[in-house]
A and B are shown apart, each in its own frame.
Chain A
Amino acid sequence: MSSGSGFGDEKGGSSSVGEPEYGHDPASGGIFSSDYKRHDDLKEMLDSNKDSLKLEAMKRIVAMIARGKNASDLFPAVVKNVACKNIEVKKLVYVYLVRYAEEQQDLALLSISTFQRGLKDPNQLIRASALRVLSSIRVTIIVPIMMLAIKEAASDMSPYVRKTAAHAIPKLYSLDPEQKDQLIEVIEKLLADKTTLVAGSVVMAFEEVCPERIDLIHKNYRKLCNLLIDVEEWGQVVIINMLTRYARTQFLNPNVNESLLEESGEKAFYGSDDEEGKEEKAEAAALAKRKPYVMDPDHRLLLRNTKPLLQSRNAAVVMAVAQLYFHLAPKAEVGVIAKALVRLMRSHSEVQYVVLQNVATMTIKRRGMFEPYLKSFYIRSTDPTQIKILKLEVLTNLANETNISTILREFQTYIKSMDKDFVAATIQAIGRCATNIGEVRDTCLNGLVQLLSNRDELVVAESVVVIKKLLQMQPEQHSDIIKHMAKLTDNIQVPMARASILWLIGEYCEHVPKIAPDVLRKMAKTFTNEEDIVKLQIINLAAKLYLTNSKQTKLLTQYVLNLAKYDQNYDIRDRARFIRQLIVPTDKSGALSKYAKKLFLALKPAPVLESPFKDRDHFQLGSLSHLLNAKAGGYQELPDWPETAPDPSVRNVEVPEWTKCSSREKRKEKKVEKPFYSDSEEESGPTESADSESDSASGSGSGSESEESGSGSESEESREESESEQEDKEDEEDKRKKKKKTDRGKVKAPAVESPESEESSGAEEKNRAQKVKGRRSGSESESEEEEESESESSRSESESESESESDTDAKKKKKAPVTKPPPKQAKKESKKEKKEMSLLDLDDFEPTPSPQVTPVNNFLSSSLVTDLEGLSLTDTVMAPTTIAPSGSVKTYELLHRITGEGLGVEYCFSRQPFSPDAHMVAVQIMFTNNTNAETKNLHVEDPKLQSGMRIKEFPEIELLPPGEMVTVVMGIDFCDSTQAANFQLCTHIRKFFVSIQPPVGELMMPVFMTENEFKKEQGQLMGMNEISEKLTLGEKCQNEHGIVQRVTSAANVSRVPCGSDKECRFAGKTVSSGILVLVTVATKEERAAQLTVNCEKMVIGTMLVKDILQALTQ
């Protein structure tokens, strides 16, 4: 309270005003009771009905918490407000709760139900915040609830909720480490998440919970590398650090060869000559043995994708990339980080401090890297001392023969600084330069000796210490320096310096035989007043002199030893006793005394002056452990490179299993082939069913017919099928009539009146029929394809075959594709050639309303379906693939088989007009049931859309038997934005949050135009509405043909005729608002081309340019 009392008065003004009143109460008087009363006051406010009072109370409570005052007795009063409507009160209650829940576990439980309710809220932000607070409450009893909530949230549709789930994982782990295994499962699941929002958080959870499970990363490695640049900056740091460790375990050292060379180079410089020769030979041999190093492409991927992050504004990100390069990159490439690190030096001094520490370590290993930036490490008088000393360290590390003179000159300036610690460090730095660089040793020594006459005692003292070290290297030549220093003993008072001088004189007393005894004499006089380290050195000096010159110094030595004998310090007393026994010959003297000379005057090795940063790089740079040069808790060792590379294939991302499974694959193939066949198939699908309907269903019309095909009686079904098959044949026979046929289909559709399908147009129904057919072909395709490709005669046979098959059993049909794969492949090849041609054709007639895939509105009553279970099976089987007109419809995953607990859902944009609402984009959704149980009541619930967006749900699918798949169509009005449409996909047991995000190219539909119209429209969309990009065409789309194909696959536009063969033009309009989109690709020489998009909506235009650009340059 003491520090914050004034502040408390300001904030809780009203309460302090209220205090005197309570003061009247005779019972109160002490500070405690008034405090108690004040809390009473707060309790009252919290219990009131007014939000404003509650808020004021909460604010005061939070202010108390902020000051570190105890407010725990208010817990019951506060926790009641957890469900308060006022957002700010609620938030402040959360703050309080998280702070005190640990102390008041039982009461905290009262709040849990509120959060559990919040977890189910339709709004993702509320769900997230509920999970956040729930997981922050450190109460062991709710661990199971938290676990459940985390698991649930991990498969939430909203990436933001999933991110919160990732954040909650380490919280739960620290509360109850027992949950580790379960949490790892959740982490594994979230690691597979594809959104950037989640990536950083889940890797952080990974690092806190199971950093040793590096195997979890394999499958996600490439994804993480690719996402990295879009992850938020804090997540980037965590991911990069983790990937550094990962790479160290998975890739080979790119510097194996270089590191050998490097070492040899350094040794040659310092080492003796003959050693060098030997080593070189050994290395040459080693080099010869080594295989040429080839970098793993994944290793390269990591280096390439992290490099742009050196440009981040966040110092931590830059540092993370720098350490990654330092630890992982080939030597030649490490240099790129120097510039970025030097840039960081302009940042706050704390940042500088950390960066310099790391640069200091790097300069020892890779000096060359920072040499060009030498001047950036020059010291300014305004730098804080700790920064100055680190810069000095870096400068010293960077010193070499060529730059030493400049560096020394700089050092000379620093010595004049008023910052004494810094001056001392400078002198030491000079000493280190002198030992490292032989050429300047004498220069440095002379310079230091000059400093001995400096006015500042500290400078002198430090110089003495450094000179002592330098002299040890070559004492013979420097007796005059020693003499000079002996004189200093009169003036220098700094103990360390005095001790150093005494040691020097003692050690080299033979070089100064006359002076040494005199120094001892002087010292003996002042002995009692000296510091301990000086006393010890006096005893040392005495002993050494006694041994070399006992005549002159015998008495002095005795005197000194006697003084020492009665010293206060036991260390000195012990030393004196020990030395006396050793050097003064008595009758009892031990065996050691004859070795006394050897003991004291042995040749001592010169000290090595080395950087405190030497070998610090065994810690991961940038880490806390590296900074402290000690292992911090939770530090993960940077592993050594492996000798041989582990299997790189572990990183290959498996194609989700279910796409491998037969039906799926078939479908894809089918799609590829479709352009070729689709002519007949696609058209025939609807028409045929229409025909058959009119035939079979006694003119009930296409609507009822499609319905029937779904739910009609069995007998009808089989008949219909056979009919359709026949039709198929017919179609094949006169392919050219296809257009007419579509027309016919169209004409027929309206003619049909079906009560149920009034709202849905005929086309829609046809769609459905067509789709049904598509599904059928999914499983049955083989037989069909075969039929088609074979000659007509053989065809009838196969047809009958397929028919019988379809009649017999769905399961059997499913197997069919597996049994006959070889012939199919052969055929595929032949089809491929034709495919391209047909694609073009298709583009041309795309705009004409082509047959539709339409959902039959929910007339499949459940009873009917259960009755006709077998039928619905055949239903799925029998529909041919006629999803989209162009061959390359991309399917996207809506719900992964694993996330969906066996229910896999994919979607694609069928590019058909969605007839119930022309402003909607048709999305075709394919459900696959991979479980062994039936999935019932598949339907859409609870769409969450951006404002303006609308959704037209597909009719409920009553039943999806195990192993089967079904396709439906829904319409979404995206409002011409690429914002995702979010909704829940519900089965009878589960709900899944899913979202559909359209590529911009799917937001439009083709428009037919003449060249003139095009030019006119383009003329009106100039300036801001025009975006041009230059590009180089990819190898496969250099001809017009390729371009058209690429563009139309990237966007749903149609080609506009054009006089010039150098230009391809396309036109489309957005589905929702009908805004024109014009695309022009002008080709030039040598694959160069220019892409121009004219569109009033710049966002759409920009995105479209990007997509098309990508399609064309690939």
Chain B
Amino acid sequence: MIHSLFLVNSSGDIFLEKHWKSVVSRSVCDYFFEAQERASEPENVPPVIPTPHHYLISVLRHRIYFVAVIQSEVPPLFVIEFLHRVVDTFQDYFGLCTEAAIKDNVVVVYELLEEMLDNGFPLATESNILKELIKPPTILRTVVNTITGSTNVGEQLPTGQLSVVPWRRTGVKYTNNEAYFDVVEEIDAIIDKSGSTITAEIQGVIDACVKLTGMPDLTLSFMNPRLLDDVSFHPCVRFKRWEAERILSFIPPDGNFRLLSYHVSSQNLVAIPVYVKHNITFREGSSQGRFELTLGPKQTMGKAVESVLVSSQLPRGVLNANLNASQGTYTFDPVTKLLTWDVGKINPQKLPSLKGSMSLQAGASKPDENPTIIIQFKIQQMAISGLKVNRLDMYGEKYKPFKGIKYMTKAGKFQTGMQRPHVSCVKA
């Protein structure tokens, strides 16, 4: 399946290669570099590139291209999903998956890659098993290792690979037994300039951090499980039980993991927690334009909207912007024409606004007046879909675990500002 893997940094250098079958020359990447040159943006490199003898399937993460070399038919998603899993594993191990981190830990990276694939076919991708095989480097362990000469490779054999619950290692022990669940929802929305919702959907996940001794068997139930009609689960969740009772029953992996993700589609009504009023005008022939933008909360169930960040790609003709923010700070990059405004918390009594003038390139024609505005925000203690966890029970172990649940709503791909013409316009 996967023949070789090359890691390419943003300047086009191959800084790591790994082969699972016979060696493929790194010159195969030339085809990739060609495609990279052709693409206007880094993310526009096609994920699948055919070459005369191989196929290159790549993913881009943290400004590193992970280029897998394939020789024969294989589902492309299979490779893509695997590469993402590799990145996730690196992230899990090294905190962040940057070029420097990979280079610093090249031996661990190599050991991991060796365990994850056998002859190009995924072998151990479960983080709990990998951690049993190869211990993640920590500062303490690095120090100890240099002194004692001991290793990162687990001394014990990975019994997890043999178990019926491969995602959980055996013999877990904690003094504080804790189970935390974060319900995080992201709103993806496209909102018209007039404020009407073109499309809005919610993408939710429940991330768990479970540190429990032994083999606990957890059940998580919801107040309103009917909201979850489109879900995907971690393999530990017992699907039958969910189908029958709408209860999540599972033996959790040890540590952090994503229990489930769900999708509340555009067909349902999605509450939009903020609104934006903006007015950007340019006059023909004048080198000045006016800029006005106001934000306000909407349908937030009384919760504060925090960490608000507004960004907008202003038209090319704009030379500079001279604005006045009622709160927070704004920056305008004259090169990329990107305007960002870090608003902070929205105070419903005094709505934040950004007003001022823009100077235009002399002689340029009147730019488009409806740039896209992208908004980021966070609302704590609320899941916008209304999802609520009812209770968490533990079986199989005797101690009383400490349980915690947190809700949060965030903006996902939340954009507004573009004007939708009326049908009549089209017909005119």
Looking at the assembled complex, report how far the CB atom of B336 sits from the nearest CB atom of chain A, in whole angstroms. 12
Q: Mark B245-289, 1 if CB is under 8 A from A, else 0.
A: 000000000000010010101110000000000000000000000
Q: How far is the CB of B36 from chain A (nearest CB, A)?
A: 13
Are A124 and B426 CB-contacts (below 8 A) given A174-B21, A339-B265?
A: no
Q: Which of B152-160, B321-329, B380-388 forms contacts with chain A? A: B152-160
How extensive is the interface on chain A, given as a class? 35 or more
Judge whether A353 is part of the interface by a CB distance below 8 angstroms.
yes
Q: Does A586 contact B (CB under 8 A)?
A: no
Beta-carbon contact of B77 and A315 below 8 Å: yes
**Considering only CB atoms, which chain A residue lies closest to B413 in the complex?**
A380
B41 within 8 A of A: yes
Say whether B73 contacts A318, CB under 8 Å: no
- Residues from chain A with Cβ under 8 Å of B198 in the complex: 375, 378, 410
Q: Is the CB of A167 within 8 A of B395?
A: no
Q: Mark A899-911, 1 if CB is under 8 A from B, else 0.
A: 0000000000000
A contact residues around B258 at 8 Å (CB) = 313
- How many B residues touch A, CB cutoff 8 Å? 111
| Complex alpha-carbon distance, A585 and B316, angstroms | 56
* Minimum CB distance partner of A308 in chain B: B239
Q: Which of A58-66, A272-280, A596-604 contacts B (4 or more CB under 8 A)?
A: A58-66
One of A349, A382, A1027 near B415 (C-beta < 8 A): A382
Query: Could you tell me the distance between the alpha carbons of A346 and B266 in the complex, rounded to whole angstroms?
Result: 13
Indicate whether A354 reaches chain B with its CB closer than 8 angstroms.
yes
A138 interface hit (Cβ, 8 Å): yes
Partner pick for B396 among A66, A174, A381, A1099, CB 8 A cutoff: A1099
Q: Specify the main secondary structure of chain B where it touches its partner.
A: mixed
Q: Of B173-181, B300-308, B345-353, B366-374, which stretch is located at the interface?
A: B366-374
Binary interface profile of B, 122-143, with partner A (CB < 8 Å = 1, else 0)?
1101000000000000000000
Asked whether B19 lies within 8 Å of A125 as measured between CB atoms, the reply is no
B423 interface neighbour in A67, A354, A381, A409, Cβ under 8 Å: A409
A47 close to chain B: CB less than 8 A: no
Contact present for B232 and A343 (CB under 8 Å): yes
> Does B91 sit within 8 A of A, measured CB to CB?
no
Decide yes or no whether B335 CB sits under 8 A from chain A. no
Given contacts A350-B47, A354-B80, contact A380 B190 (CB under 8 A): yes
> How many whole Å from A637's CB to the nearest CB in chain B?
11
Cα-based distance from A418 to B73 in the complex (angstroms): 37
Query: For residue B44, which residues in chain A have a CB less than 8 angstroms away from its CB?
Result: 384-386
What string of 1s and 0s marks CB contacts (under 8 Å) between A618-649 and chain B? 00001111011010111110000000000000
Could you say which of A88-96, A262-270, A792-800 contacts chain B? A88-96
B-contact 0/1 string along A377-394, CB 8 Å cutoff: 010111011100000000
For residue A201, CB closer than 8 A to chain B, the reply is yes
- Which residues in chain A, 931-980, are within 8 Å of chain B measured between CB atoms? none
Q: Are A68 and B233 in contact (CB under 8 A)?
A: no
Once the chains bind, are B121 and A1098 in contact (CB under 8 Å)? no
Q: CA A318 – CA B231 in complex, angstroms? A: 12
Stretch at the interface among B100-108, B291-299, B402-410: B100-108
Complex: A412 Cα to B428 Cα, angstroms: 12
In chain A, positions 292-334 with a C-beta closer than 8 Å to chain B are: 308, 311-316, 318-320
Kindly state the separation between the CA atoms of A522 and B139 in the bound complex, as whole angstroms.
Answer: 76
Does A627 lie within 8 Å of B76, measured CB to CB? yes
A413 near B106 with CB under 8 A, answer no
User: Is A496 at the interface (CB under 8 A from chain B)?
Assistant: no
Which residue, of A126, A164, A350, A409, has the highest number of chain B Cβ atoms within 10 A?
A350
With a cutoff of 8 Å between Cβ atoms, the chain A residues found around residue B379 in the complex are none
Beta-carbon contact of A1102 and B217 below 8 Å: yes
Q: Cβ of A861 < 8 Å from any Cβ of B? A: no
A1099-B47 in contact (CB<8A): no
Report the stretch among A4-12, A31-39, A530-538 that lies at the interface. A4-12
CA distance A821 to B84 in the complex (A): 64
Docked CA distance A92–B107 (Å): 9
Q: How far is the CA of A543 from the CA of B175 in the complex (A)?
A: 92
Smallest distance from the beta carbon of A177 to chain B beta carbons, Å? 14
Q: Is residue B48 contacting chain A, with contact meaning CB distance below 8 A?
A: yes
Query: How many Å from the CB of B254 to the closest CB on chain A?
Result: 17
CB within 8 Å for A633 and B425 given contacts A66-B109, A313-B233, A385-B41: no
B76 touches A171 (CB 8 A): no
Among A7, A59, A354, point to the contact of B103 (Cβ < 8 A): A7
CA distance A443 to B428 in the complex (A): 8
Any chain A CB within 8 A of the CB of B46? yes
Q: Within 8 Å of chain A (Cβ to Cβ): is B62?
A: no
Q: In the complex, what's the smallest C-beta–C-beta distance from B25 to chain A, in angstroms?
A: 9
Q: Check B34 for interface membership: any CB of A closer than 8 A.
A: no
Stretch in A180-188, A228-236, A499-507, A562-570 touching the partner:
A228-236
Chain B 95-125 per-residue mask, 1 if CB under 8 angstroms from chain A, else 0: 0000000011011011100100011011101
Contact A413 B420 (CB under 8 A): yes
Say whether, besides A313-B261, A409-B422, A319 and B77 are in contact (CB < 8 Å). yes
Q: Which residues of A contact B76 (CB under 8 A)?
A: 354, 622-624, 627
Interchain CB contact under 8 A, A405 and B162: no
B185 contact set on A, CB distance < 8 A: none
Answer whether A68 and B80 are a contact pair too, CB < 8 Å, given A313-B233, A628-B50, A1098-B396.
no
The answer, yes or no, to whether A51 is at the interface (CB within 8 Å) is yes
With the chains together, A164 CA to B161 CA distance in Å? 12
Find residues 39-56 in chain A having any chain B CB closer than 8 Å to their own CB: 50-52, 55
Residue of B nearest to A86 (CB): B151
Whether A416 touches B75, Cβ cut-off 8 Å, given contacts A171-B119, A311-B231, A378-B198, is no
Q: Is residue B59 contacting chain A, with contact meaning CB distance below 8 A?
A: yes
Query: B230 near A339 (CB under 8 angstroms)?
Result: yes
A residues near B162, Cβ cutoff 8 Å: 124-125, 158-160, 197
Give Cα A410 to B198, complex, Å. Answer: 9
User: Which residues of chain B come closer than 8 Å to A102, judged between CB atoms?
Assistant: 22-23
Least distance between B13 CB and chain A CB atoms (Å)? 4
- Nearest-neighbor residue (CB-CB) of B43 within chain A: A384
Does B23 contact A99, Cβ atoms closer than 8 Å? yes
- Quote the shortest CB–CB distance from A802 to chain B (angstroms): 48
B374 touches A376 (CB 8 A): no
Q: Which of B70, B80, B151 contacts A55 (CB 8 A)?
A: B151
Q: How far is the CB of B14 from chain A (nearest CB, A)?
A: 7
Within the complex, the shortest CB–CB distance from A56 to chain B, in Å, comes to 9
- Tell me whether B395 and A346 are in contact (CB under 8 A): no
Tell me which residues from 1073 to 1101 in chain A have a Cβ below 8 Å from any Cβ of chain B.
1098-1099
Is there an interface contact between A1102 and B396, defined as CB atoms closer than 8 Å? yes
Q: Quick one: which of A229, A353, A632 contacts B72, CB cutoff 8 A?
A: A632
Q: Is the CB of A316 within 8 A of B81?
A: yes
Question: Which residue of B46, B59, B415, B427 contacts A446 across the interface (Cβ within 8 Å)?
Answer: B427
B290 at the interface (CB under 8 A from A): no
Cα–Cα, bound, A380→B46 (Å): 19
Q: How far is the CA of A474 from the CA of B123 in the complex (A)?
A: 61
Within 8 A of B (CB), among A812-851: none
Inter-subunit contact B149/A95 (CB<8 Å): no
Q: Closest Cβ of chain A: how far from B99's Cβ, in Å? A: 9
Can you list 29 A-B contacts with CB-CB less than 8 angstroms, sorted by A residue number? Answer: A62-B106, A67-B17, A88-B151, A95-B111, A123-B157, A126-B157, A174-B21, A312-B233, A313-B234, A313-B261, A318-B232, A340-B232, A342-B265, A354-B77, A355-B77, A372-B267, A375-B198, A376-B201, A376-B265, A385-B44, A405-B423, A409-B421, A409-B423, A412-B426, A447-B427, A624-B55, A630-B50, A632-B72, A1027-B395
Q: Which 4 A-B pairs have the closest CB atoms?
A: A634-B72, A52-B149, A88-B151, A375-B199
Chain B residues with a Cβ under 8 A of chain A: 1, 13-19, 21-23, 26, 40-41, 43-44, 46-48, 50, 55, 58-61, 70-78, 80-82, 84, 103-104, 106-107, 109-111, 114, 118-119, 121-123, 125, 149, 151-155, 157-159, 161-162, 166, 188, 190, 198-199, 201, 203, 215, 217, 230-235, 239, 243, 258, 261, 263, 265-267, 313, 315-316, 365, 368, 370, 372, 374, 394-398, 413, 415, 418-423, 425-428
Can you name 5 extra interface pairs (CB under 8 A) apart from A170-B121, A313-B261, A386-B46?
A91-B111, A95-B114, A233-B125, A308-B243, A315-B77
